[in-house]
Structure 1
Amino acid sequence: MADAGMRGGLLSLMFVIIAFWALLTATDLRAQTQVNSSPPPIDGPAILVPTDFDQVRFYLITVDVGDSVWDNFGHTALRLVDDSTNTDLVFNWGLFDASIGNVRFAANFARGIMDYQLGVTPPGWELGRYQQEARTVWQDQLVLSNTQKQRLYERLAWNIRDENLVYEYDYFFDNCTTRVRDYLDEALGGLLSEQNRALTRSTFRDEVQAHYASRPLISFSLDVLMNERIDRRMTQWEQMFLPLELREQLDRAGLLTDQQVLMEFPSPEAGVDPYQMAGLLVIPGLLLLLCLRSASIASFSSQPGLSLRMPALSYRLLGLLGLVIALFSGVYGLIMSLGWLFSSHQDIHGNLNLLLFWPTDLFGVVVALRWLLTGRAWPVGSGRHQWVMTYFIIHIMAALVYLVIAIFGLSDQRVSDLLLFVLPVLAVFTVLVMTAGLSRVRSIRFG
């Protein structure tokens, strides 16, 4: 199992992005709230342990990944069937209450306050959700002895007590799937954990990127905001936080039988590669470099230097490019900085990417809008011009440090994609701003 420092940090980081997404997709959030906060009541007393476990069957319910922010890792539940009492219930550890409102709910997401709970529902209601969401569902009977069934039954009976319903959710180490994994391992006397100690080839970062492939913006953002602590390889046991991986490992262990596909839908298609899209921004930058020309003195108020040909078009293109870069760089830098200053989770501290993305870059939005609206360089006085140039020189120095750290492997954080696709864009943009983006104004003194 991972060290305690890993626990919760990435969850908070992921939910920072998800929280912003939630605010932009309030309709989706309300739909999720209705699904997860109001399951139908189950009549009858608390679960009583049966005397004849020959009549009891447990089924693993595995749900494929969905196409929304909330379900990109899939879902796992347990189905309990007791023929002696005509009991048929689904135990689902993926319920949360969003009735407090979108803003507060999103804020709790960002802070990592995630109180999930166990819900027990009829299979018709539970499976109906996935029918509406167009998600494939597999049902596999678990191969357990009567003794193992009793252990699992008793654990569920304990979990359904009011004081045990709520738990502190963690994306990797304590979620709807790991609850099933852990309870099965307990029923099997630790056999499952014992057989899955080997390291896999995947890291936590790999799984995040793979499972958010249908959400390129989320995938890209999480990759920027996660530090080196999630770049270690997982064990097979840890990898079973993924529903499909848990199902595969249980099948390999011979613990599944009577396998059924209850409903089948196509999986979400992967979106465009976010890094390739980011890398394409270098094209307008290179085109603008070709537009550089010497600038003659148009009046006594300006200094000679470089400008762009066809300024009405080229500076507006520079404005669009600058708007995208300033927004993304500034927002990412702000999230990483605030997380480092105010969060106790180590996974968002000391992110190497802070050398590239600064919260102060948000001020560039104003300059970019000026280029976009006026179609000409930003006129600045000599004093301000020096400050701006110093800012960019420090930015360049930080980027060079970033490059050295990455090339010589001085950090365990994986930044190869940023190095290949994003750093060239930032470099070209910086050259454009320093050469043609500013027009230094000469002071005129009389007397």
Structure 2
Amino acid sequence: MKLAGRLLLTLALILCSACLPAQAEVENAPGANLEVSLITYGPGDIYWERFGHDAIELRDTVSGEEVDFNYGVFNFDEKNFFLNFARGRMHYLIDAEVTTDEENFYKQAGRSITKQQLALTPQQAAALRDFLFWNLRPENAGYNYDYYIDNCTTRVRDALDRALGGAIKARLTKLPGGMTYRQQTVRLMSAQPWLMLILDLGLGPYADQPLNAWQESFLPEKLQANLSSVTAMDEHGAPAALVQSEELLSPNHLSMPPPQPPDLRVPMGLAGLLIAGLIALAARWWLPGFALFGSLYLLAAGLVGLLLLILWTLTAHHSAWANANLLLFNPLALLLLPAVWRKLRGITPSHFTDGTLLLQLLALIAAMLMHMLPGTVQQNQPWILFALPIWLALAWGMRQRSRH
């Protein structure tokens, strides 16, 4: 993610022009002199690196010049960056760097580097090169980033598919994917458990739709693997494997994500039972504790509900829209805060409190019944198992007589 890349590339081109006047360069080499490769970088330690990264490498076989094009540049100093991020309007850029500079960065970070040389015809290689340099122009470089459907890997995938006349998409849309967006997200973020839980809580039913291999190629590692199944026509019109060779240029030195996502149902269910038990015991034997535990949960549930509602109605984060977790955590919880404190004074719950509790319990039933419906249903069972016993304990505790 280095913004000085374009300046370094320009300098390299100038130096090459001065030192090798008789040789071609990537920008103006004939297509027959261009080698095209997909470079895949393994996941990093920082949360935004957990999904991995990739680039298209163009190499001029005459001059030896190698340039990496990647779509993963963003700028924290951009005006209203964090506001745009919160609203789901993130601005990313394509960038180009000398291959050795790019690879040295990832080697020093301990991330793996894999190179797949691709079998493009001279015409396809030249068309890809022309498109990438056109895309590199300042007026064309920016795009609106989306985690799943328009990111630094889908842009690489689409550029290659464009040069190949749609051969990649035609093949991969016929193959099933292995996981959903949610499963891949939970798997890759499992090294940061709290962030993993936050993302899982915030993802709506969009993240649970079945994917084909083309869609699942939003991940660098999946695009790398899926290209091995693609064939393309060579310059003589005969079918040939798209991936000519694959080489591990640098091994991984970091902990790798697990091959499967963790099953959150048991730990979340146990956590819900533990909190529910504390609330129930406090309601029976220690009213200040009931007021404290109940208030903390209701405050958290209400604020989470407000955030989920904002994500749905006021942002472009479409993967968070129509989140069924709103049935479990919603602003109704904030209306119940006075009731848990009134219990300290022995005041019987009002009709308003009873009605609010009834609405919440009906919402819980609706959340469970949704899993009996056909079609794509949000896979939020861990959060149902967490929230259900807590809400039942709160409802029971508000009606329970305490013992001093």
Tell me if both proteins adopt one fold, taking TM over 0.5 as the criterion.
yes
- Give the AA of the match of 1:378: L
- Which residue matches 1:200? 177
Q: Displacement, 1:112?
A: 1.2
- Give the AA of the match of 1:326: L
- Which residue matches 1:67? 45
| Counterpart contact for 2:113–2:249, Cα < 8 Å | yes
- What is the TM-score with the length of structure 1 in the denominator? 0.73
- Which residue matches 2:277? 286
Check if 1:94 corresponds to 2:72: yes
| Counterpart contact for 1:202–1:234, Cα < 8 Å | yes
Check if 1:169 corresponds to 2:145: yes
Instruction: Tell me how far apart the structure 1 counterparts of residues 66 and 302 of structure 2 sit (CA, whole Å).
Output: 52
Instruction: Tell me how far apart the structure 1 counterparts of residues 191 and 279 of structure 2 sit (CA, whole Å).
Output: 32
The 1:417/1:437 distance shift into structure 2, 3 A limit, reads farther
Instruction: Tell me how far apart the structure 2 counterparts of residues 67 and 276 of structure 1 sit (CA, whole Å).
Output: 27
Q: Displacement, 1:321?
A: 6.6
Check if 1:185 corresponds to 2:161: yes
| Counterpart contact for 1:339–1:348, Cα < 8 Å | yes
Instruction: Tell me how far apart the structure 1 counterparts of residues 402 and 199 of structure 2 sit (CA, whole Å).
Output: 31
- Give 1:360-379 correspondences, 5 Å limit: 360-362=332-334, 378-379=344-345
The 1:272/1:428 distance shift into structure 2, 3 A limit, reads farther
The Cα RMSD (Å) is 3.3
- Which residue matches 2:36? 58
Q: Displacement, 1:167?
A: 1.4
- Which residue matches 2:369? 404
Instruction: Tell me how far apart the structure 2 counterparts of residues 167 and 418 of structure 1 sit (CA, whole Å).
Output: 35
Unaligned segments of structure 1, at least 5 residues: 1-34, 293-306, 371-375, 440-447
Instruction: Tell me how far apart the structure 2 counterparts of residues 235 and 152 of structure 1 sit (CA, whole Å).
Output: 25
Instruction: Tell me how far apart the structure 2 counterparts of residues 86 and 386 of structure 1 sit (CA, whole Å).
Output: 80
- Give the AA of the match of 2:216: Q
- Give the AA of the match of 2:390: V
Q: Displacement, 1:157?
A: 2.1
The 1:345/1:127 distance shift into structure 2, 3 A limit, reads closer
SS of 2:211's equivalent in the other structure is strand
The 1:37/1:157 distance shift into structure 2, 3 A limit, reads closer
| Counterpart contact for 1:285–1:425, Cα < 8 Å | yes
- Which residue matches 2:289? 316
SS of 1:57's equivalent in the other structure is strand
Corresponding pairs, count: 376
- Which residue matches 1:266? 254
- What is the TM-score with the length of structure 2 in the denominator? 0.80
Q: Displacement, 1:409?
A: 4.9
- Which residue matches 2:313? 341
SS of 2:322's equivalent in the other structure is coil
Q: Displacement, 1:316?
A: 3.4
Instruction: Tell me how far apart the structure 2 counterparts of residues 422 and 380 of structure 1 sit (CA, whole Å).
Output: 26
Instruction: Tell me how far apart the structure 2 counterparts of residues 284 and 132 of structure 1 sit (CA, whole Å).
Output: 44
SS of 1:60's equivalent in the other structure is strand
- Report the identity percentage: 26
